[in-house]
Amino acid sequence: MSVRQGYRVELAPTRGQRARLGQHAGLSRVVENFCLEKVKAALEQREAEKTYGIPAADLTPVPWSAPAFERLWRLGHRDRYPWFAGESLSSRVPKEACRVRAAGFKNFFDSRSGRRKGRKVGFPGWRKRKHGSRFRYDADRARPETARMVRLPGVGKVRTFEDMSWLADRIADGQARVIGSTVRERAGRWWVSFQLEIDRTDINSKRAVSSDAPACGIDVGVKTFATIVDDDGTVTQIDAPKPLKAALRKVRKAGRAVSRKRLGSSNRAKAVKRLARVHFEVANRRADFLHKTTTMLARSKRAIAVETLNVAGLVKNRRLARAISDLGFGEFFRQLEYKAAWYGSSVWAADRWFPSSRLCGGCGAINQELTLADRSWTCGCGLRHNRDVNAARNLLNAMSLVRDAT
């Protein structure tokens, strides 16, 4: 069975290839802003036409879709942007930039109408240089050429820092195909991310969780990242590296260095790059910890009970916002869910209002007086609880009850 999966590899471009990558990132930004300009112009024209009493059916149409944007780009780029053809840039980048802009408008309307879940999406804005350099290719226009080489249209064959034999062999055997790719620059380094349709049957079967593996409940927290209670009574605690907290002094020093440099100077540009590298190291440490932890759990537990956290609500607490964001709870649950599906495990999420910490695992009473500062508490039945262990055990018991009932 084929699944969607991402595969990211760092590029090792030459100086000339770096310039070409930057040109394509600039092209993508220009096209996205061109599409937004056309939409705003059409909306302003409609407002003007309404004042003339023109019927709604005869008003100027607004180009919301990717095909409409592509038509406008083909008609307008020769006069407005002659450098596009003159520099021999890839024609696939504007096509994908139009799709990205159209997707942004769709997300806005779906969010406003309630069809899109999650945080409200605003009306798309202008894309600027400070928003980062990135561009996309459609289908398999960009693909691995060899185990150490990637072919990027308009750029050429670019070497990679990492060996891609795992991916190249599967593409050659027909077990995987590239359905899209994104090239992005971060902290002065270039990456390509392939979106794949891949048959993971052989991989998952080799690394599938054992049938006699334990089930567990997991309580996540700020002091201890994860408290894991297995159905055999084993308790394991995992501490997070808290990469931002560890690098906070370095981040502040790099930030002050940026603020002391004159706007527009080359020294300020260098200081900005140094700050970006510090933040990139922080993000990499967090991602490494989350991937290793979720992979370990998905491959060693046959069933996992977790809580449903309102992370967006938790970060509104100004005293805990930085600590919670540093832990990456949302990404932890996301990775755990798809990796469990890979390796034959399962994830059960409790209701958001399930009182895992307040519930006594012995008598079932709920302690309404429990606060975040209470790391342990004693129930009226005389049973003393460690807050995190009790919560993890309650999640495990709730999952067992639900599964027994079904």
Q: Are 264 and 303 in contact (CB under 8 A)?
A: no
Distance CA 49, CA 389 (A): 66
Q: Which helix (H) or strand (E) holds 395?
A: helix 387-405
Helices (H), 52-91: 66-80, 83-86
Number of Cβ atoms within 10 Å of the Cβ of 234: 10
Q: Using the CB atoms, write b or e for 19-41: b if 16+ within 10 Å.
A: ebbebbbbbbbbbbbbbbebbee
Q: In what side-by-side order are the strands of the sheet with 156-159?
A: 143-146, 149-152, 156-159
3-state secondary structure of 156: strand
Give catalytic residues, as residue numbers: 219, 307, 388
Question: Helix axis angle, 92-113 relative to 15-51, nearest 10°?
Answer: 50
Residues in the chain: 406
Q: Are 216 and 303 in contact (CB under 8 A)?
A: yes
Q: Which tokens in the block code for residue 316? A: 């509104």
Closest of 9, 332, 382 to residue 191, by C-alpha: 9
Q: Are 224 and 386 in contact (CB under 8 A)?
A: no
Distance CA 358, CA 212 (A): 31
Query: What are residue 146's DSSP bridge partners?
Result: 149
**Is the alpha carbon torsion for 165, 167, 168, 170 positive or negative?**
positive
The CA-atom distances, in angstroms, between 80 and each of 31, 44, 77, 133, 369 are 11, 21, 5, 22, 67
Q: Are 277 and 283 in contact (CB under 8 A)?
A: no
